[in-house]
Structure formats: C-alpha cells, structure tokens
Amino acid sequence: MNGTEPIELGLTIPLQRHLGIKALPYGEEPDRHFCWDLHVISLRGRSSLLAVHCYSRYTFVLYDLGPSAWARLPDVFRAGLEDSLSAAGFPSKAVNPLCGNLQPLFTKTHGRREVAFLNRAWDDVMAAELALDESAQNQPLLDQIVNAKPSRCVGFEGLGAAVERLTATLQPFL
C-alpha cells in the first residue's frame, strides 16, 4: 500500500442506474485496501453518496449531490474522503494510501460480504439521520457516529469501530 496502486470504486446497481451506466467489469484488485463501494441513498429526499471502504468499513456521506457532482464522481469522492478524514483527525497524507493514484476504475461492487457491510453502514446512517446537517455536503458528525459504532468488516475479525480499524490500516503511513 504505497499510494501508486489503482483504486477501484465499486458502484451498486442503483448507483449505476442513477449515473446511466449500463455495464461494469468485475474488479481485479484482490487487496481490499484500495477498494471502495459507492451507493446512492436518499437522505431527506436528496440524492446522496454513501462511500464504504471495503477493508475497514470506514464510511462517509456526501449529502445532496447535484447532477454536475455525480458527473465528476471520482473528484467528488476524493474531496469527500479528504474532508471526512480531516474531520476525523487524520493528517492529509492519509488520503494517498487509500486513494492510490486515483485513476479510478469503476467496477461492480466487490462481493456479497462487502455489500452486506455497505447495507449495514446504510442502516447506521439512517439510524443517525438526526445528525444530518442539511446546510453542508460533507457530514462530519454523521460520519463520526457511523464510524464509531462497533461493526464487522472484511479486513478484520470481530466487532470494532471503523475509525480504529482505519487507524490501524494507515499506521505505517502516518
């Protein structure tokens, strides 16, 4: 994990439809460190992005994305990740190990377990919806609540907080 690997953004079927994408390849990256699954969710009637790191289940939400933001999804994703990590107290250099060279490859989602964990993250977001700030696209309080809740993920055994697992994953780079 040195920041030069390609990143895979796995798009759920609803997000593919939302973007007008007909078909996507399966991902090739067996190392889930560089894999994110992305989903379009409705928060208070607004199309929003749910991004879940496949390895740690670190989650962030971008609220009320308009058509131009969806058209620039890789750039919007990276900016959202940078903002989320910064709000969580990670240094700016933490973004590169998670984003690779950000020549993203859109793929299908990364597997049944990963999608199950994405669905759990979505449930956690909806349970914490009272923390939603309708005046901002970035949702640091909502992200913090979701990432502090004990959960399961692909990269670690048992229950743990996503923010702690991400810290452990990034430790060699911080």
> How does pLDDT run across 57-109, given as a tens digit for each residue?
999 999 999 999 999 999 999 899 999 999 999 988 887 777 765 567 788 88
**Residue 4 above 70 pLDDT?**
no
> What is the domain range of residue 134?
8-173
Give the tens place of pLDDT for each residue, 111-132.
888 899 999 999 999 999 999 9
Q: Is residue 3 part of a domain?
A: no
pLDDT of residue 104: 73
pTM for this entry: 0.92
Q: Is residue 129 part of a domain?
A: yes
CA distance 87 to 97: 17
Q: Is residue 2 part of a domain?
A: no
At 160, the pLDDT band (50, 70, 90 cuts) reads: very high
Give the tens place of pLDDT for each residue, 48-58.
999 999 999 99
Q: How many structural domains compose the chain?
A: 1
CA distance 138 to 23: 29
Domain at 68, CATH number: 3.30.420
Q: Is residue 137 part of a domain?
A: yes
Q: Is residue 1 part of a domain?
A: no
pLDDT of residue 148: 97
Q: Is residue 51 part of a domain?
A: yes
At 1, the pLDDT band (50, 70, 90 cuts) reads: low
Give the tens place of pLDDT for each residue, 7-64.
889 999 999 999 999 888 776 666 777 789 999 999 999 999 999 999 999 999 999 9
CA distance 77 to 60: 10
Q: Is residue 144 part of a domain?
A: yes
**Residues counted in the chain:** 174
Query: Taking all residues of the chain, what is their mean pLDDT, rounded to a whole number?
Result: 89
Q: Is residue 68 part of a domain?
A: yes
